[in-house]
């Protein structure tokens, strides 16, 4: 029996091909047209003195000081409460000021068209010693049960994460959208999060565009954008540099389109990790295209734990430029290194994955293509086309590695991929452990 640890780290064992099998086309959701930003009138009462539709609720009008030291939480909550009751209202965080607020939940439901416009600097208390003891350390800004809401502006959301990064405890996630729909995040700069910068849980209809996320390369667990149990997501024309996954896609996600994104340094764009602690994970219809990944530990990656169930299907990575990237193309189904994981026999079923026009350079410390699929549940219908990856420095060119991976090479790849198995494995049968209820809907 091939050891699980070997499947993760061994790079040179080859399998002889045994036939061929094609791939069905995957429906790729089209990028939405870039909507014009909502107009924000300068006069809060443009017509009828009694009509507050479209009003601006400046947090300084509710007592916010904006000196970077005063606690402006109460003023923000008062402005939010007032704006929440008004159609197409804007909560304004004005420029040239620095606002400090503590852990806060901005609740809905609110009237449609609510905008939080951050033109100044918004930040939490400076590190764990300044964090109020009564506040949760697991979260800072939470947007809950909202529909048709936009976060935008020309300012900065500063996480003050430096004093958290070396601590053994898990610090808070910076911005979280929870159980919300029809969301837009546009134009904002987010930096130095203690952990995840932006997280979407249980959401539907999310547009993220022109976002800038910046955190040092060695900052731990500082994922840029993480989505879980969320569907119908578009992430466009954004730049992410951080210490972990630039974008991570968790269980329960479907219909996600990522385009025009530049990641690096980072850990690339990842699906997973999935199947944690024997859980079911269902992910489908994910497209990443016209992206750049540079100076990163990973490129495009699918990572699952041993013992999980469910499936990952309908995945397309297309037109991606790699610049000095380790593990450019990677499926890792041995992501858990705990002893309890080593004897697990079930796995998340990975199928229907396309890699098209993936070009650029790789760090020679790792093979550029690594498919470590489960011993018991093979990866199937992998398609490789127009893949060309060369060493960033030196002449060493590592061989691609495959373990229990089935697929086709439509065009000759560089380096050549001689290790994909042809056809379909006999062991793959219809089983409830691979099925996902309502795979293209909410999980």
What are the b/e assignments for 204-240, b being 16+ CB within 10 Å? bbbbbbebebbbebebebbbbbbbbbbbbbbbbbbbb
- Select which of 27, 267, 277, 370 is catalytic: 267
Kindly list the distances between the CA atom of residue 252 and the CA atoms of 7, 186, 245, 286, 402, in Å, as whole numbers in the listed order. 27, 24, 18, 12, 27
Cα–Cα distance for residue pair 131/137, rounded to 1 Å? 8
Q: Are 383 and 23 in contact (CB under 8 A)?
A: yes
User: Is 12 exposed, middle or buried (CB count within 10 Å of its CB: 0-12, 13-18, 19+)?
Assistant: exposed
CA 420, 421, 424, 429 dihedral sign is negative
Cα–Cα distance for residue pair 384/59, rounded to 1 Å? 53
Q: Are 362 and 325 in contact (CB under 8 A)?
A: yes
Cis bond upstream, residue 268 (ω within 30): no
Q: Which two tokens stand for residue 436?
A: 């996902």
Rg, Å, the chain Cα set: 23
Question: Is residue 21 flagged as an active site residue?
Answer: no
The distance between the two most distant Cα atoms of the chain, rounded to a whole number of Å, is 78
Active site members: 267
């Amino acid at each position: 029996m091939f050891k699980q640890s070997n499947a993760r780290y061994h790079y040179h064992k080859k399998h002889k091909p045994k036939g061929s099998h094609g791939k069905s086309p995957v429906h790729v959701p089209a990028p939405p047209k870039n909507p014009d930003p909502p107009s924000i009138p300068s006069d809060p009462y443009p017509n009828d003195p009694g009509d507050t539709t479209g009003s601006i609720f400046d947090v300084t009008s509710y007592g916010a000081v904006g000196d970077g030291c005063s606690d402006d939480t109460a003023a923000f909550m008062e402005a939010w409460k007032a704006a929440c009751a008004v159609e197409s209202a804007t909560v304004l965080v004005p420029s040239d000021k620095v606002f400090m607020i503590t852990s806060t939940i901005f609740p809905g439901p609110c009237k449609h068209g609510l905008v939080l416009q951050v033109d100044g600097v918004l930040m939490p208390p400076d590190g764990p010693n300044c964090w109020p003891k009564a506040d949760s350390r697991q979260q800072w800004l939470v947007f809950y049960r909202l529909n048709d809401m936009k976060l935008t502006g020309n300012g900065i959301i500063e996480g003050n994460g430096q004093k958290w990064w070396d601590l053994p405890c898990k610090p808070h996630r910076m911005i979280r959208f929870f159980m919300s729909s029809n969301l837009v995040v546009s134009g904002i700069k987010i930096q130095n999060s203690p952990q995840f910068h932006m997280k979407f849980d249980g959401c539907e209809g999310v547009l993220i565009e022109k976002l800038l996320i910046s955190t040092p390369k060695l900052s731990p667990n500082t994922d840029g954008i993480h989505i879980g149990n969320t569907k119908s997501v578009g992430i466009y024309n954004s730049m992410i540099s951080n210490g972990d996954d630039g974008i991570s896609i968790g269980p329960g996600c479907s219909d996600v389109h990522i385009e025009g994104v530049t990641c690096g340094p980072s850990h690339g764009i990842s699906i997973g990790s999935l199947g944690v602690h024997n859980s079911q994970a269902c992910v489908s219809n994910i497209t990443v295209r016209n992206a750049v990944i540079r100076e990163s530990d990973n490129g495009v990656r699918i990572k699952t734990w041993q013992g999980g169930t469910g499936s990952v299907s309908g995945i397309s990575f297309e037109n991606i430029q790699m610049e000095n990237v380790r593990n450019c193309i990677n499926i890792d189904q041995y992501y858990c290194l705990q002893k309890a994981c080593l004897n697990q026999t079930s796995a998340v079923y990975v199928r229907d994955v396309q890699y098209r026009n993936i070009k650029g350079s790789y760090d020679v410390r790792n093979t550029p293509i690594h498919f470590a699929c489960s011993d018991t549940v093979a990866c199937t219908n992998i398609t490789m086309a127009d893949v060309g990856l060369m060493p960033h420095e030196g002449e060493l060119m590592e061989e691609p590695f495959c373990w229990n991976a089935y697929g086709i090479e439509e065009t000759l790849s560089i380096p050549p991929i001689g290790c994909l198995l042809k056809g379909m494995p006999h062991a793959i049968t219809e089983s409830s452990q691979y099925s996902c209820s309502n795979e293209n809907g909410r999980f």
